[in-house]
Structure 1
């Protein structure tokens, strides 16, 4: 029994933040058979059921001798405004174990659940043994919480392997929370802790632009009520604005029994991203409008609510709720040591970052100019340097290319050969033109090339701009999304301290010193808890491949096989024309016509470059270069970023631009439930009219990220997105785009929800992506498609696992086999399927593409002759010159 008055180790910090040491045991603890503490002096116990624990219990920020314990007390009636005493207990064995006794209780101390802080409790226990499990609970009068299990970090000298998981992006109003259901299962009991990389909540409750996933039954029964949020955007979306708003959101999210089970089972190390405050946040600024208004009070409210609901204390996070005049009243970046195996460095990439380099207004203007220029070129029917003049004047066997295209659009015929698949093009064209131009065209109307180009030329870029926002639900095109490379460079150069633009000066210096200190102390792995993607994900249109197209021609298409083979030799030419059209005049001046017909490999001359996600590190290139160059110059190796934010599984190798050396790896995880980017893209295109056609149906699984993709259209996309140095094996169109265009992205899965587990020791670290999917029909019933076997209960999902094993530098001598990848070479991957549902993978070998043995047809020779004749008469037409070089004869 300890004398509280004489113990220096029991300290009252500020308000609800307390710390105690092992051995602090309240008098009377454990008397009787209940093991519950005696009533606090001077307090009359309330009847059982007076208090509750609606958000469960949690632990966090594990260190080798300490842990943080958390709960929120449920208080009703007159006691709502009162501070309630609560007892924290820690034991060396489970409280409900058979041999439990009072000697097993290591801590039993009274603390306060303050009404000012929504009756949340944060208590830090010190003096614990390294790498040890403990059990804890909270007691208020006659009410007791469930018990939780936690674990301290190993000692700094320990070489004990470390196992953990990381998660992010858990939108209440979208999809399933199967990740937490699975993590709570016994087979994951070996995890030491969980890292949350942000977007623990979403500040909006009814944003149809991205909160449109199928809500699982559990959350549908406990919906978020948008009217409880006091902020309203210009578009009518409601968002959290006050402290009570944010508290409401956290209370709903923490009511899910699965996340409560996870918190009770594992200590969590948490950081925030943007949605704990506002979408694409920077400092205290919102991005709901192009004005990016400062929202000082809202930022401070978000800070406090996050702190109240996360298992952290002042020993790990600096928080001053009474500090006035600044929204930087909290510091959440911090680091943790896990023996010799790893150092975990957690950063804050929102509070200190500068505004996005390109202002929204300027970015939109560039996008508008870009599309208006393309439409203007297409619609200029009188220019001898234009596309239309080339199509109209070039003849093949007495037919102009224009007439051939007219026949294909209206009748599904090219010359005398009918293509059933081409008959589907016209309705899609009509639909596109109607949407862009507000037209009333009918699928029965005759469409001609000149009519189509005239319609497009009459549009302005704003129509396409509006469609991009409508289709993908993202404002900020040209600024935060799809930022043009040359424009981004120009604006970044205006910031004299651009290398501090993401993390701020103080945090940047702290990150560098932390990496150096971890290296110096001999920590093998430097794991960086990084909220937004670090790997470079730019899109260069010139990377589309112009390699000769080859197709599998099925039995149902044998009658038109010669025509398909002829088209395969023409398509590369059209791809080159498309790349020219998408490239700005400024970049065109540095390229020749032959530069547009490359194979998409890294040595392809650069064309129009776009930073697709400029809200991530791609929009802060100098900041990224500063960090990578620091790692290179200081020879700090075995650095791996664990990343959230993008709702996509991504694995990539980061290169330092100054030295051109790989310096780190980036493993980004998909969201727990938030709609994936691949899913958003797949659902933005209605290709249902193609689903019954053998030439085109196979592309639908590629858009949805499930099943087997095949068919001529799929094979064409497959070859467009092939690079000689990378296999084009993404399951969905978004992942294929990422892996194809980016030199750093090595693998991706874009239609995904789930989590990542990591198993690390002093020689290797294995990262495993767990992709969990639930398929339902319109009535909410789980589907059982032929390609999958899914358990019957509504919240189950199938699991697809993809693993990468990275070996530490200097450890090659201990690695069996010569073919194993050693840092910094990117590792190979292993893909497998597991419970909770088994998925039979189609083991049939992919059929090799069928190459035609037919000699070039007379039609192709005539086409080349016709183009050559046109070029003789119009030598300066770029479309004709590119087309000529692209024809495969």
Structure 2
């Protein structure tokens, strides 16, 4: 392992000590495989969730699978399953460069990750997992990134919001088949997944529609939903995931889909998350199902662990970007209680069990593709401040068809409003209520540390394009009700669970890009189940607009 950096060495020690995580090093030249003696007859094992690769580096990639024993006697006495993985230069596995024994343990729900290093840049590899006399039903295909500084075009796809019960994944089958039929120079290099890989609430389909397919009862789950007219988007009997077993069940169900399996086998994926990997409209370790929601630190830890088990990603060894490091790290188990949130710090982050739950897994990081692209992946759920449109504000503005832009901007500014002199009361429709954010910090989606890192990464990037993996839209989506004569209405935002609920920080970021003359910035966003494209202004309320970035929003 000569030539491996100190950071890489430290990562390998820590990663290999994590349950379900292994390291393999590629041989310089192909060799004859030595493993393959079955300790069980064919048919004893299978791979019901397929296989996957992720976060390709110029010299490494993360591989993933999950195994199950169809014959319990074929597993080890403690329930673990011995496997091995092969990586080859060809789909027939005649030029094998990696053969490594690994183990799928009970503690990680028989999932495993293999960090394969020593690979060549910009190269197609094939990989497969084996258990006893069985092997994964098809080979995986992955693609390492070009060497840093290499000028080469990049082609990638984006996706998000794949609600299993609302439909099938035919678009992924089309993506896979089109790529197989394409000329080599037209094939996709990787897939960027912008979050909502699962939906944590079953029956998340309007109650007047028939679900395309059902997940069924969760192992634990919340009390089955009984319709009362307040949640028209939930089916009778739907449940929220509340335990690790529930979240694991959802990932296993989603990953049983053959089209999703085919896409994950065909392309390396690069992932961030949005809210539904934890809870709808999540902020920090808090849910929002009913009223203003309640602390959910135990669920956050369970959700983070399940994501780490089922979503391959290079975290602790996420590469630096021209000297700018990453805070990303693998899952760390912590003990928490669903405790009151306490008082926030100046970054609007809550301490104690909230801090421990959120810090159990950190995923914001960078990814490079030669000289063409630097990808900055952010986490816009774990550090965001509470929403400004609370139940009290909704009741106060009950005549507003959508949240008023003026009020959102005022509340978001907190104690910094009006140059540090926030009003004691807010007004709407001739009425007033005490300003609930008068003493609060400025609103944030990124949190202080991540925002500082984001600015440093953008400034350090020397790639032709800087692509922001931004799980929620930054595009302005407003309704200009003030133009309706005699209606007495104000302009409003179409939703505030996106950057529209945090307009001050978005303006800060756009102004930073503009002031620092950081160009060719493209935001790739999801969440809204809609397609859109546009430019991102520094301040959308200025008479003369200036723009800092462009955005492409995807629906799935």
Q: Distance in 1 between matches of 2:463 and 2:170?
A: 34
Match of 1:523 in 2: 463
Q: Deviations over 1:576-610 (max 9, x none)?
A: 5xx32242xxxxxxxxxxxxxxxxxxxxxxxx111
Mapping 1:128-207, distance limit 5 Å: 128-145=119-136, 146-185=138-177, 186-187=180-181, 190-207=187-204
Out of 332, 340, 351, the residue aligned to residue 382 of structure 2 is 351
Distance 1:107 1:501, change over 3 A: same
1:171 and 1:201 in contact (8 A); partners too:
yes
Figure out how many residues of one structure are paired with residues of the other and give that number.
471
Distance 1:670 1:291, change over 3 A: closer
Out of 335, 360, 366, the residue aligned to residue 366 of structure 2 is 335
Match of 1:861 in 2: none
Structure with higher Rg: it is 1
Report whether the alignment pairs 1:508 with 2:451.
yes
Q: Deviations over 1:783-841 (max 9, x none)?
A: xxxxxxxxxxxxxxxxxxxxxxxxxxxxxxxxxxxxxxxxxxxxxxxxxxxxxxxxxxx
Match of 2:88 in 1: 91
Mapping 1:287-302, distance limit 5 Å: 287-302=288-303
Out of 376, 385, 391, the residue aligned to residue 360 of structure 1 is 391
2:413 and 2:443 in contact (8 A); partners too:
no
1:206 and 1:226 in contact (8 A); partners too:
no
1:298 is paired with a residue whose SS is: helix
Distance 1:89 1:499, change over 3 A: farther
Match of 1:627 in 2: 509
2:413 and 2:442 in contact (8 A); partners too:
no
Distance 1:109 1:95, change over 3 A: same
Q: Distance in 2 between matches of 1:123 and 1:178?
A: 29
Q: 1:280 Cα deviation (Å)?
A: 0.7
2:304 and 2:331 in contact (8 A); partners too:
no
Q: 1:287 Cα deviation (Å)?
A: 1.1
Q: 1:30 Cα deviation (Å)?
A: 2.3
Q: Deviations over 1:208-242 (max 9, x none)?
A: 43794661xxxx4xx31035451136856411111
Q: Deviations over 1:842-866 (max 9, x none)?
A: xxxxxxxxxxxxxxxxxxxxxxxxx
Report whether the alignment pairs 1:668 with 2:553.
yes
Match of 1:490 in 2: 410
Mapping 1:46-445, distance limit 5 Å: 46-76=40-70, 77=72, 79=75, 81-95=78-92, 100=94, 104-145=95-136, 146-185=138-177, 186-187=180-181, 190-209=187-206, 212=209, 215=212, 220=213, 223-226=214-217, 228-232=219-223, 237-313=238-314, 314-316=316-318, 317-324=328-335, 325=353, 326-328=356-358, 329-367=360-398, 370=399
Distance 1:258 1:320, change over 3 A: closer
Q: 1:366 Cα deviation (Å)?
A: 1.1
Distance 1:105 1:227, change over 3 A: closer
Q: Deviations over 1:422-481 (max 9, x none)?
A: xxxxxxxxxxxxxxxxxxxxxxxxxxxxxxxxxxxxxxxxxxxxxxxxxxxxxxxx8xxx
2:190 and 2:267 in contact (8 A); partners too:
yes
Q: 1:198 Cα deviation (Å)?
A: 0.6
2:219 and 2:245 in contact (8 A); partners too:
no
Distance 1:537 1:341, change over 3 A: same
Q: 1:24 Cα deviation (Å)?
A: 9.1
2:46 is paired with a residue whose SS is: coil
Stretches of structure 2 lacking an aligned partner (at least 5 in a row): 1-8, 228-236, 319-327, 336-352, 417-439
Distance 1:17 1:227, change over 3 A: closer
Q: Distance in 1 between matches of 2:274 and 2:551?
A: 17
Relative to structure 2, which stretch is displaced further, 496-505 or 108-117? 496-505
Q: Distance in 2 between matches of 1:176 and 1:194?
A: 18
Q: Distance in 1 between matches of 2:165 and 2:549?
A: 35
Q: Distance in 2 between matches of 1:92 and 1:264?
A: 15
Match of 1:16 in 2: 20
Mapping 1:697-776, distance limit 5 Å: none
Q: Distance in 2 between matches of 1:74 and 1:118?
A: 9
Distance 1:349 1:160, change over 3 A: same
Q: Deviations over 1:766-785 (max 9, x none)?
A: xxxxxxxxxxxxxxxxxxxx
Out of 621, 638, 649, the residue aligned to residue 531 of structure 2 is 649
Q: 1:532 Cα deviation (Å)?
A: 0.4
Q: 1:110 Cα deviation (Å)?
A: 1.2
1:500 and 1:508 in contact (8 A); partners too:
no
Distance 1:668 1:107, change over 3 A: same
Q: 1:29 Cα deviation (Å)?
A: 5.3
1:290 and 1:361 in contact (8 A); partners too:
no
Distance 1:121 1:210, change over 3 A: farther
Q: 1:141 Cα deviation (Å)?
A: 1.9
2:308 and 2:331 in contact (8 A); partners too:
no
2:218 and 2:249 in contact (8 A); partners too:
no
Q: Distance in 2 between matches of 1:170 and 1:320?
A: 24
Match of 1:30 in 2: 33
Q: Report the TM-score, using the length of structure 1 for normalisation.
A: 0.51
Q: Distance in 2 between matches of 1:203 and 1:323?
A: 21
Q: Report the TM-score, using the length of structure 2 for normalisation.
A: 0.80
Match of 2:422 in 1: none
